[in-house]
Amino acid sequence: MTTTTAETAPAPRKQGESLWSKAARKLLRDRWGMTSLVIVLVYLGIALGVWAGLWGQDWNTLTPTINAEASAEHWFGTNRNGQDIFERSIFSTKTAFEIGLVVAVLSTVLGAIMGAISGFFAGRWPDEIILWLKGVLDSIPFYLFVAAVAFALQGYAFSMHVAMVATFWTTTARLVRAEVIRLKGFEFVEAAHALGVPEWQIISRHIIPNTTHILLVQATITFVSAIKSEVILSFLGLGVKNGVSWGLMISESTNEVTTGFFNNFLAASVFLFVLVMAFNMFSDALQDAFDPKKT
């Protein structure tokens, strides 16, 4: 795998260019893709700052000013407990990244392993079992499943993450399986077989690395699904338990919008919308960059 940096990327197309350097070149040329990447990185910076304790630490501080309008002191005003909405929005960025990253990484890893095994042994019993498991998980309604997991894990803070990973890996696995079945017919896999490389090593060294572009795109999609699901789950009372999230802010605001106080709702919605939108656009740009049919 070649590593291509920004300086060499715009160079004219050369013979035998790798998938990755070509993708990097295409991505760097994609104006919308780069813009969205910058936005995502800004959010990541905010989240890292919260994590490092630089800002967003006063999200839980109660002040006597309740439902205040935006002012120099409280940039987005305060909610009905007198908590600063701006601080809460900032802190929620960290919550969103925590959920998004944990769920995206774990479900991508799980999906990659399951998909690779399933594709490699296509038509044999490991494949049958994994396909059956996928079918089973896909036919349980998502919110019911999360609720059930939440109950089974009895208030354990990560029950939401577990439930999301358990349901989100299936899509990744399906895509990886199809790709692995395609790869299996290639000469390099045949050669590895002929050389007597053990099967698990063929899977881990030769097949999974060739699906990383699918995994990368799929991870961005899972990230978006995770933070979107968090909003709904928190509203239903099945999501974030300690701390604050955009979902909790929006569900708080359902009582406020009817009385004409929109700050909480707007702040959380805009923060959420911009991140999801940027991530969606970045995900599209990645997909286009890896698509050999597009120049």
132 part of the interface to other proteins, by CB under 8 A: yes
140 part of the interface to other proteins, by CB under 8 A: yes
Stretch that binds other proteins, among 12-20, 62-70, 90-98, 143-151 (CB under 8 A): 143-151
Residue 21 or 245 having the CB closest to other proteins? 245
CB 168 within 8 A of CB 103: yes
Residue 91 beta carbon to other proteins: minimum distance, rounded to whole angstroms? 18
d(C-alpha 145, C-alpha 162), whole Å? 10
Query: Given candidates 47, 90, 175, 281, which one binds other proteins under the rule CB under 8 A?
Result: 281
* Chain residues 216-275 in contact with other proteins, contact rule CB under 8 A: 228, 231-232, 235-238, 247, 250-251, 253-254, 257-258, 260, 262, 265, 269, 272-273
Residue 236 beta carbon to other proteins: minimum distance, rounded to whole angstroms? 7
Residue 123 beta carbon to other proteins: minimum distance, rounded to whole angstroms? 14
103 part of the interface to other proteins, by CB under 8 A: no
37 part of the interface to other proteins, by CB under 8 A: no
User: Binding mask 180-209 vs other proteins (x if CB under 8 A, - otherwise)?
Assistant: ------------------------------
| Neighbour tally for 239: CB within 10 Å | 22
Where residue 237 falls (left for φ over 0; alpha for ψ -120 to 50; beta otherwise) is left
Query: Given candidates 135, 191, 198, 200, which one binds other proteins under the rule CB under 8 A?
Result: 135
CB 118 within 8 A of CB 182: no
Residue 269 beta carbon to other proteins: minimum distance, rounded to whole angstroms? 5
Residue 211 or 253 having the CB closest to other proteins? 253
**What is the residue type of 59?**
W
Residue 188 or 273 having the CB closest to other proteins? 273
Residue 5 or 154 having the CB closest to other proteins? 154
Residue 114 beta carbon to other proteins: minimum distance, rounded to whole angstroms? 15
151 part of the interface to other proteins, by CB under 8 A: yes
CB 252 within 8 A of CB 79: yes
Residue 53 beta carbon to other proteins: minimum distance, rounded to whole angstroms? 29
Question: Would you tell me which residues interact with other proteins (CB under 8 A)?
Answer: 132-133, 135-145, 147-149, 151-152, 228, 231-232, 235-238, 247, 250-251, 253-254, 257-258, 260, 262, 265, 269, 272-273, 276-277, 280-281, 284
